[in-house]
Amino acid sequence: MIMKKFLEYLRTNTFRRNLIAALISVSALIIIVFFSLRFYTRHNQTIPVPDLKGLLIDDAVRILKAQSFDYDLDSVYQVDAQPGLVIDQDPDPQTAVKKSRTLYLTIITRSAPEVAFPELIEKTLIESRAILNSYGLKLGDTIYRADIARDVVLDVLFGGQPMQPGRMIPKGSTIDLVLGNGQGGNQVEVPDLTGLTLMEVRFALQGSSLNLGNIRYQGMVTDSLSATVFSQSPASGQALIAVGTPIDIYLSNN
């Protein structure tokens, strides 16, 4: 009985009008949602990502703001690289994106991070160069000193001052190494005798395993004990000389 009445209702004009109205409403809702989403997502409204690599960050930011992009920054440190330089970006240049998209930029940091200075004493020159490189440090001057070990680190200098392991130092710093010359006690540095009396000269030369050579006076010498050295040969600061080499001195009563 109920089924018969339902089938009779389906044949009425009222049902047909309600069905048509429902179909129109659903179609209208679908159309409204479709075009609303197209407007909200700005369908087909994209712009290419600018090429920012190689620009300074201030210039890159001006370009991004002019084109309504947001941005996020990350930084890395590179030795000898210009601080503030953009070296990478995501998305890549010319990628089609929507306005207000966030671009991720990697720039060179303006300040070097610090590293704990490594232990180099008694390491070879080759080992020390590799260690310095792994810590992001530069090898500067190599200064040779009389020692039986050839090219073995005897001392480490930073800015002319001795360095201790563990001390924090800016990455990219230049380190000087004092190395053995492999000749041990056979050669020594020439001491500076300027301003010393004859007695002081004898003591200094004895400590350096060198001999006193010719002694010459200049001008009127009234007191030879108080006369001081104003010149010497070989001069100090020259190349290493053999143990026992005589040093000539010139004294005066200035």
Of 59, 75, 177, nearest to 118 by C-alpha is 177
> Is 239 a residue whose pLDDT tops 60?
yes
Q: Which of 3.30.10.20, 3.30.450.70, 3.40.50.720, 3.20.20.80 would CATH assign to domain 46-108?
A: 3.30.10.20
Average pLDDT of the segment spanning 140-163:
88
Which CATH code for domain 190-252?
Answer: 3.30.10.20
pLDDT for residue 23: 75
φ, ψ of residue 70 to 5 degrees: the values are -90, 165
User: Token match 């009127």: residue?
Assistant: 220
For 52-81, write each residue's pLDDT tens digit: 898 998 998 999 888 888 889 888 877 677
> Is 42 a residue whose pLDDT tops 60?
no
Average pLDDT of the segment spanning 121-137:
92
Running DSSP on this structure, what letter comes out for residue 135?
T
Q: How far apart are CA 197 and CA 212, in angstroms?
A: 13
pLDDT for residue 187: 75
> Is 121 a residue whose pLDDT tops 80?
yes
Q: In sequence order, which residues have a C-beta less than 8 Å from that of residue 33 and are 6 or more positions away?
A: none
What pTM, to 2 d.p., does this model score?
0.44
Which CATH code for domain 114-182?
Answer: 3.30.10.20
pLDDT for residue 230: 92
Q: How far apart are CA 204 and CA 194, in angstroms?
A: 11
> Is 48 a residue whose pLDDT tops 60?
yes
pLDDT for residue 1: 62
Looking at the chain, which residues constitute the CATH 3.30.10.20 domain(s)?
46-108, 114-182, 190-252
Cβ atoms < 10 Å from Cβ of 103: 20
CA 203 to chain centre: 48
Q: C-alpha angle with apex 32: 27 to 36, nearest 5 degrees?
A: 150
Q: Which two tokens stand for residue 199?
A: 């007695």
Q: Which two tokens stand for residue 74?
A: 């990350």
